[in-house]
Amino acid sequence: MSLRPNRRQSMGQSLALMAAASLPAWAQSPPAAPAAPAASDAPAVVLPPSRPPIVLPPLALRQRRLANGLQVVSLPTQGGTTVSVQVWYRVGGKDDPVGRSGFAHLFEHMMFKRTKYMRDEMFDRLTEDVGGQNNASTFEDMTAYQNEVPSNHLERLLWAEAERLAHLQVDQANFDSERKVVIEELRERVLADPYGRLFNALPKYAFERHPYQRPVIGSEADLNAATLDEVRRFHATYYRPDNALLIVVGDFDPPQLDGWVDRYFAPLVTPATPIPRVTEREPVRAQDERVELKAPNVPLPAVALLWKGPSVTHADAAALEVAQALLSSGESSRLNEALVYTAQAAQAAGFAAELYADGGLLAAYAIAASGQSLRKLEDALLAQINLLVRGKVPVLEIDKVRTQLMTGVLLSRQTPQGLADAIGRAVLLHGDAREADARIARLQAVRVADIQRVLTQHVLRARRVTIDYVQRAAA
């Protein structure tokens, strides 16, 4: 998939970095207990859930908007001694200028450089040196800066976030140093990885018009061609109070927080110029397409099947998330069981539903085992999707997958950092912080019939692009 770079991997926020086994992150998941899917041409039997749904009290969110447009969401929690301070900006890979892919990712790095009142890497000193942590991630639709510190350091972090929003030094030295870092990251995670070029190229072929087709990590040629003036214009366009969301979750006193936010963020000035927004909408694909992608150092060929998907706010999003888990989550997932273990036709296989604010892509892939043909793998991928759509789905299998998904959601809500992350995604992707609660109910409401319907509509009856990924001939 498109690489979603992050500054540090320790916090696990990057969902699409290349894994150690040369696979994208959506192809990696914890092992689960084996469960063999049953094959049948009979209609699926939908049984009642084996346990009552999980109902949680809604998050006690506090929301406000400053006069300069800054949106603030806070959530005081009990029983901890830390606080998460996060700032999310409504700028992602889709907002990169034409011919300048990687600008959003570049600023993920540059925001840790010096400001008017902070020296280089001072954020590390303000977080790591007091027992906390920091991270940043760039996505297709947004960029997130995430910190967690002991709660007695909250005021200092609020000042620092306001300071780098207002006074980041976008100069030639900082630009040159961080451009080198981004290009080295691209070389390591995409160019040096045997299958990096394949997964990095999927958006290019999945989207026909939308700027999602440009990889978030950027292009070496685009970054090298960029000028300081272009980078400064990008920063001035998107890094402003009315394009930001401040999230504070954890151990804090609400009135005191409000006072500090007013003190450090309220004085920041919002430019009078409007913020440009992507308005391109992706058309329905008119016909199937086949592409051969050649690259150096491809140990064994691979095949990828791409379909256009709905946006993350679409009513089918939850069902597609559960479908992805059934097909691709864990050692006992359907594609892994059928293609890797049983048929031994593939070294790895997976399915992903990557849904963004303006649209999405659905992808099935397989990396061939030695001597296996790509057409055989293509047929096997489609056969497993057809089996899920037309066969019986054991109640234990769907219950297991629901449990895996709900466990992940619930575990993330146990920490200030996880809660803040859920709030950030809810606001920037759905426009409503309460989506952090609504997602739990939607996942539990998905039934087998929903999964079969969305796969039929968005995959089996839709046009696709098939990519054969093969070794480039020696020069």
Question: DSSP readout, 7-55?
Answer: S-STT---SSSPPTTS--GGG--------PPPP-SSPPP-PPPSSPPP-
> What are 411-444's pLDDT values in tens digits?
999 999 999 999 999 999 999 999 999 999 999 9
Using a 10 angstrom Cβ sphere, with 0-12 exposed, 13-18 middle and 19 or more buried, the burial of residue 414 is exposed
**What beta strand segments (E) does 327-397 contain?**
346-355, 360-368
Q: What is the mean pLDDT of residues 330-342?
A: 96
pLDDT tens sequence across 103-132: 999 999 999 999 999 999 899 999 999 999
262: Cβ–Cβ under 8 A, 6 or more apart, which residues? 66
Could you tell me which residues come within 8 angstroms of residue 132 by beta carbon, excluding any fewer than 6 positions away? 82, 126, 147, 148, 149, 150, 153
- Provide the mean pLDDT of the chain: 90
Q: What is the per-residue pLDDT for 7?
A: 45
408 close to 439: Cβ distance less than 8 angstroms:
no
Q: What average pLDDT score do residues 26-54 get?
A: 45
At 475, the pLDDT band (50, 70, 90 cuts) reads: low
The dihedral sign for the CA sequence 213, 218, 220, 221:
positive
| pLDDT score recorded for residue 42 | 39
Spell out a b/e string for 346-380, using b for 16 or more CB atoms within 10 Å of the CB, else e.
bbbbbbbbbbbbbbbbbbbbbbbbeebebebbbeb
User: End-to-end CA distance of the chain, in Å?
Assistant: 28
Q: Strand 346-355: give its sheet, edge to edge.
A: 289-295, 465-471, 302-309, 360-368, 346-355
pLDDT grade, residue 474 (50/70/90)? Answer: confident
Residue 44 pLDDT greater than 70, yes or no: no
Place of tokens 């379909």: 307
Q: Which ranges in 187-290 belong to alpha helices (H)? A: 196-206, 220-225, 228-238, 254-264
Task: Name, in order, each residue with C-beta under 8 angstroms of 120's C-beta and a sequence gap of 6 or more.
Answer: 112, 113, 114
Residue 37's alpha-carbon distances to 33, 324, 416, 449, in angstroms, are 13, 15, 38, 16
Within 13 Å and on the Cβ side, how many CA atoms surround 255? 0
Bridge partners (DSSP) of residue 38 are none
User: pLDDT per residue over 348-386, tens digit each?
Assistant: 999 999 999 999 999 999 999 999 999 999 999 999 999
Distances (CA, A) of 8 to 58, 104, 134, 217, 473: 31, 16, 8, 14, 36
Alpha carbon distance 394, 45 (integer Å): 8
CB 266 within 8 A of CB 443: no
What single-letter amino acid sits at 26? W
Residue with tokens 């006074």: 167
Mean pLDDT of 81-88: 98
Cβ neighbours, 10 Å, residue 218: 28
pLDDT in tens, 2-28: 333 344 333 233 333 333 333 444 334
- Distance (Å) of CA 271 to CA 91, 123, 166, 230: 16, 26, 12, 18
State how far the alpha carbon of 207 is from the alpha carbons of 16, 30, 105, in Å.
18, 30, 20
If you write DSSP's letter for every residue of 408-470 in order, what string do you get?
A: HHHHHTTSHHHHHHHHHHHHHHHS-TTHHHHHHHHHHH--HHHHHHHHIIIIITS--EEEEEE
